[in-house]
Chain A
């Protein structure tokens, strides 16, 4: 009696795109197994198709796009807002230091733009400014993490990522 293949073996064959020559030859010659392999494949496709997400409307896609762009805009505003205060503090520190050193020259605060490159740079400026401030003046310290503030709660994932970058940079000793 010819050995037929079980559904499990046919299932593995269907998923793994296996090159089992014996199985391939058998299913090509055996009607029962060939029929069952076709049924397994077709059932896998049917199951996958039935479990797909329902078709979404154009409104859904537009809303999603707007949500992404709004999150980016909010993030950029935050990058411009919070670090601007720090950058202003850094500028003050620089002016005071320059004045005390008798140089008397004045430098403007770092330019802040909203491009992703500038955003990364502004975060680094932020960290540097805090370090300078701590080293130069002991009167004012920033002890809270702005990423963890209530206002930024909705952007927890981004905050997590930023924290990860910071931790990584700390490891490399750049912060």
Chain B
């Protein structure tokens, strides 16, 4: 009996049922879809646009667009994937139109004040703090110079920790294209790390 109850509880209406209900004129079906996916869409939108108000507005907008196009949804992908694609497109449009504020520039390459990463340093906490400072700043500075597409890919990888294949599916791109974009993005982060890399190399030679 317990297992029967469990099955009943988990066996709610499928996305397809809710879509059909909506297309039949009952908007309660769509409200359930909103309630089911709004958290994921908002979280992902925030990961990309990095602003709560924009993420909220993109989430709402994505659902309205999905509703308007619902009759065209053919079910070739999951509804969630389709909805996420709509939201990602809106995020990309948002990034393309946004004027980014400049992040204060940290130590430049060759700057004497660049902290060195001493690989021989046996104090894990000190090392950890240096890595922490490097990476946080490098990411924030590097991302500013990325294209909208690269930002979307990098942020989905960094903040949502999505595998490359999933990012490719969501963006409807070949995995190789996503890999190339991500590589360029990571390369820019690495460029920002160069001051420390140089100091690191010097420390290594001195070892």
Contacts and interface: CB of A to CB of B under 8 A. Distances in A.
A52 B42 CA distance: 11
A52 B163 CA distance: 18
B193 interface: yes
Nearest to A33: B119
A40 interface: yes
Nearest to B127: A39
A46 B31 contact: no
B7 interface: no
Contact of B193 (A8, A33, A39): A8
Contacts of B25: 113-115, 118
B161 interface: yes
Interface in A26-78: 32-33, 35-36, 39-40, 42-48, 51-54, 56, 61, 64-65, 67-69, 71-73, 75
A64 B39 CA distance: 10
Interface stretch (A9-17, A95-103, A130-138): A9-17
Say whether chain A's binding surface is mostly helix, strand, loop, or mixed.
helix
Nearest to A64: B38
A61 B71 contact: no
A117 B23 contact: yes
B84 interface: no
A8 to B, nearest CB: 4
Interface range for A:
35 or more
What 10 pairs between A and B have smallest CB-CB spacing? A8-B190, A53-B46, A117-B71, A115-B25, A116-B70, A68-B63, A32-B119, A39-B131, A15-B186, A48-B159
Interface of B: 22-25, 27, 30-31, 34-35, 38-39, 42-43, 46-47, 50, 52, 55-56, 59-61, 63-65, 67-71, 90, 117, 119-120, 124, 127-128, 131-132, 134-136, 139, 157-159, 161, 163-164, 179, 182-183, 186-187, 189-190, 193-194, 196-197, 200-201, 204, 207
29 contacts: A4-B204, A7-B197, A8-B193, A11-B193, A17-B164, A35-B124, A36-B131, A43-B128, A44-B135, A48-B159, A48-B161, A51-B50, A53-B43, A53-B52, A56-B42, A61-B38, A64-B38, A64-B60, A65-B34, A65-B35, A71-B60, A72-B27, A75-B64, A75-B68, A115-B25, A116-B68, A117-B70, A118-B25, A157-B64
Interface of A: 1, 4, 6-8, 11-12, 15-17, 32-33, 35-36, 39-40, 42-48, 51-54, 56, 61, 64-65, 67-69, 71-73, 75, 113-120, 157-158, 161
